[in-house]
Structure formats: C-alpha cells, structure tokens
Amino acid sequence: MLLLLASLAFVQYVRTSSSDQNPYLMTDYSRLHPVKVERVLQGEAEAQLIGLVKDAKAKGLKLSIAGQRHSQGGHTYYKDAVVVDMTSYNQVLSVDPEAKRIVVQAGATWEDVQKAVNPYGLSVKTMQSLNVFTIGGSISINAHGRDIRNGSLIKSVESFRLLTAGGDIIQVSRTENAELFPLALGGYGLFGIILDVTLILTEDEVYRESTVLMNLEEYSDYFQNEVLPNPDIRLHIARISVAEDSYFKEAFSKNYTVDRSLKLSDHNKLKSNDNWVAPGKLLFNINRSTDWGKNAQWNLQKHFFVEQSDKIVSRNNAMRAASAFMEYSQPGANDLLQEYFIPLPQFDAFVQRLGAIVKEEDMNLLNITIRYVNKDDEAVLSYAKQDMLALVCLFHAPLSKAGQQRMKQGVERIINEVIASEGSYYLPYIAYPTLEQFRNVYPGYEYFFAKKKDYDPDELFMNYFYEQYGG
C-alpha cells in the first residue's frame, strides 16, 4: 500500500511540476504578478555589494533584496529593479559557545546555524518551524515559531551590519545606530542590505513530545491554564480541524516539555524529518481537492500525533519540521498563506467567526495551526501588540483574476473581524488587506515610512509592499 502511494505521488509530482510562469519574468512563492527585472545578481562579497549600491544609485535603478523568496506579497522583487539574491552570501563567520553567540552572513539558512551550534549543545531561541529560510529574510519579517518563551525573532538579535542606501556599512544594535534596529528588523528589506547578524543562542535541551486531542472550544482555556503556566513546556503548536466531519470542532495541542532525566548526547544527532514525503505529498494533494481528502488528512494526523505521542526529541530536531510534502507547482492555482494574531481573551469568539467566513466565502482552507507570540514592543511594525495566539492559515486558491478577487474578498472580511478583535495580521503574505485596514492594524506606519524616506530619500530599496502601502 505504501509503495502504491509512493508511486502515485511520484506520478502526481511529475504531472504538477510544470510552471505557469514566463521564464523571462520574476515572481515569488505566490506565483502572482510576475514582472521583468533588470537582472538578478548573486551576493558574493562585501566590496561587490557596496559597488552595486553605488552603481544603482548613480544610474537611478531600484534594488530589491531576496533570500529564499518565500514571502508572498512582492517583498523581494520590483519591476526593472536589480534583484540582489543573498542566498550565496551564506557563511557562518563565528561561534562563541561561552557567550552563546553566533555571527552569520544574511544568506545562511537556519539549517546552517543548527549545524554550526549543535556540536556545542546550543540552539536558536526563535525561528520558523522550517529551517530552510535565510537569516536575513527571517529577521526582515521579524519571524516567530514554536517557542512560547522567547517572543518574535527581534529578541534573539544582538546586532547586525547594514549596507545603507548611501553605500556605507554601519553596525546596528540597541546602542549603535539604535533608531534603525526596530525599523530594519521587520522592515522587509526597505532600509538596506543586511550583511551579517549576531544572534543570541540558548541551550539545546531534550524534550518529551506529547499531544492532546480536545474540542476546539476547550483549547484557549487549556493553553492559558495548563501550557503557559508550566515553564518546562518550551515549544508548543496546535492544529484545528478543517475536515468536513469535524470542521472547527476538534483540535490537538502538541507540547514539548523538558525532560531533565535524559542525556542530550543520546538524542542530539540532527535528523531529517522529511520521511514519507511521497505518500504525504499525495495525501495533501487530495486534501486540496476533496472533502474526503480533508477527513483522511485529519484522521491520519490524529493517529500519528495523538495515538503515537510521547516522542523524545532534542530542541534542534524539534525545529526541523517536514515541509516537502506540501510543495505544490500545478499551473493555475497555488497554496497561499495568511496569518492572524488574536489576543487570548478574544480568541474563542474570533475563531468561530473565522470558520464561518471561510465557509460562507467558499475558501479552500487546507490547514490551520496555532502558535503563541509574546508581546513585542520593539519592532515598529510589530504584529504582537500584546500576547497573541497566531492562526496560520494555508489556503488553496486559483491564480486567475476572478479567483484572486474572491480570495481578496474573503480575506478582507476576515481582517475586519481581526480588527474588531483588537488583533493584527502578518505582512509577509499577499497584500489582500486594503490600505485602510493596513493603517488600522499597523498604527506605526507613518513613522515607519517617514523614516524610510529619511534613510533612503531616493527610494533605492524598493518592493511591491512599499509601493502598495507606503510609496
């Protein structure tokens, strides 16, 4: 049976690996709005990047900065711009185990960081669930993840070096050029090229992974009364059912609790979590197209995560979630992320309204996970105005004009409920929200865009997020 599933998944992969994009145009993970760019240039050396900035400024060109290009709202490219691909600027420069610090170039991935720090019994404080993204990209969106104690990524950054629009390299920290620190972190590449970053590390630990199935209406109380007060629960994630048979009625919570009786050395070998990619790819594709597939996906998750819980895992391995099974490239449609942050007291009411809107607008919701983010007072465009529960929603939507208009209509309705709940939404994704909604959710926008003009008066660093909301 597994062999059959694997074979079918391979056929499906071959069938859907074609592209609906013009090879002479550039886009991002969304595959929306492809445009012609001046050229794509690989970042290779400091002097080269300085020369590029000065040359672009002299010629009146625009620069866009790209990593893995998983942002979905045009943050990493712009029409007729020079796109600076930083993925080749990826060296680990130093590790200081005693100080618990690492210095890495912006194009290095979280996997590169994990490989560098794992031998010292160290780990990152915050990162996304996947370790394939670049450090520069992650801090440019002020990412968050499964850690419920250390907040968004800005709290893990000690300093970084920034190549400015004037062609100068400056050190930025909470004490040096401090005004730029909360602007460039969560600044979507609009204040300069981040060259390298000093990250604050924490101890690697051994966790006992446990999963609890519950009614969705029980989740908020469970999280507030059993998860948050327990300091030994370091990581947490939950999932909500989008299956027809239990739609927005069931949820399961996965906790990672420190087990001090276990030796780290017995469990700290870095492992790949992309096993069973082929059958998983097939099942997730069925999830996209049928109610039966959504039921099967949810029941399989319950079996593996709930009935087979009590897994032992190191912190570094817990932060290496599988992702390849979700890859999708079929022409005409795509999987598109949206994310909503809701204060704990408003969570129960909001999540029910969310489920109702998704049904009413006939939005194809594939997966929804819950994270927790501590209040962030630093980043100017902070999404965590207070302690928040984040709802990470993966939708499947047509890329056609009509399909995208329907998607935009549904998202705008959801954002209105977010605003009514005193919440926020995440900016790295497709810019469906209106200008009015953006300004309502991000009241720091005026200061942010005014400072953008102060530091980059010629708007050398450019992307579509800036054009839509601030240009």
Q: Do the beta carbons of residue 86 and residue 470 sit within 8 Å?
A: no
Domain boundary among 155, 174, 203: 203
Please report the pLDDT score of residue 281 as a whole number. Answer: 61
Structure confidence at residue 304 as a pLDDT band (50, 70, 90): confident
Q: Are residues 154 and 111 in the same domain?
A: yes
Helix (H, G, I), strand (E, B) or coil at 254: strand
Please report the pLDDT score of residue 272 as a whole number. Answer: 76
Q: Note the pLDDT tens digit of each residue in 250-294.
A: 999 999 999 999 999 999 999 876 555 555 666 677 778 788 888
Q: Are residues 181 and 240 in the same domain?
A: no
Q: Are residues 252 and 304 in the same domain?
A: yes
Instruction: Decide if pLDDT at 7 tops 50.
Output: no
CA 26/CA 367 separation, integer angstroms:
28
Q: Which is more confidently placed, 330 or 218?
A: 218
Please report the pLDDT score of residue 330 as a whole number. Answer: 79
The Cα-based distances of 294 to 142, 247, 285, 286, 337 in angstroms read 32, 10, 10, 8, 18
- Tokens (6 digits) for 340: 């909503």
Q: Read out DSSP for 203-223?
A: E--EEEEEEEEEEHHHHHHHI
In a domain, 366, yes or no: yes
* CATH number of the domain within which 166 lies: 3.30.465.10
Mean pLDDT, rounded, for 151-160: 97
Domain boundary among 155, 184, 203: 203
Structure confidence at residue 21 as a pLDDT band (50, 70, 90): low
Q: Are residues 339 and 366 in the same domain?
A: yes
Mean pLDDT, rounded, for 417-435: 97
Q: Are residues 126 and 219 in the same domain?
A: no
Poorest-confidence range of 270-274, 352-356, 359-363, 376-380? 270-274
Please report the pLDDT score of residue 220 as a whole number. Answer: 97
Q: Are residues 312 and 379 in the same domain?
A: yes
Other beta carbons less than 10 A from residue 319's beta carbon: 25
Q: Are residues 278 and 170 in the same domain?
A: no
Count of structural domains, the chain:
2
In a domain, 7, yes or no: no
% the chain with pLDDT above 70: 90
CA 265/CA 99 separation, integer angstroms:
21
Q: Note the pLDDT tens digit of each residue in 97-147.
A: 999 999 999 999 999 999 999 999 999 999 988 888 999 999 999 999 999
Structure confidence at residue 160 as a pLDDT band (50, 70, 90): very high
Domain boundary among 203, 233, 263: 203
Range(s) of the domain holding residue 119: 87-203
Instruction: Decide if pLDDT at 3 tops 70.
Output: no
**Minimal CA–CA distance to 265: which of 121, 115, 114?**
121
Q: Are residues 176 and 313 in the same domain?
A: no
Other beta carbons less than 10 A from residue 170's beta carbon: 14
Q: Do the beta carbons of residue 148 and residue 236 sit within 8 Å?
A: yes
Q: Which is more confidently placed, 283 or 164?
A: 164
In a domain, 9, yes or no: no
Q: Note the pLDDT tens digit of each residue in 388-404.
A: 999 999 999 999 999 99
Q: Are residues 362 and 275 in the same domain?
A: yes
Please report the pLDDT score of residue 291 as a whole number. Answer: 82
Please report the pLDDT score of residue 9 as a whole number. Answer: 33
**Minimal CA–CA distance to 353: which of 412, 406, 414, 394?**
414
Please report the pLDDT score of residue 420 as a whole number. Answer: 98
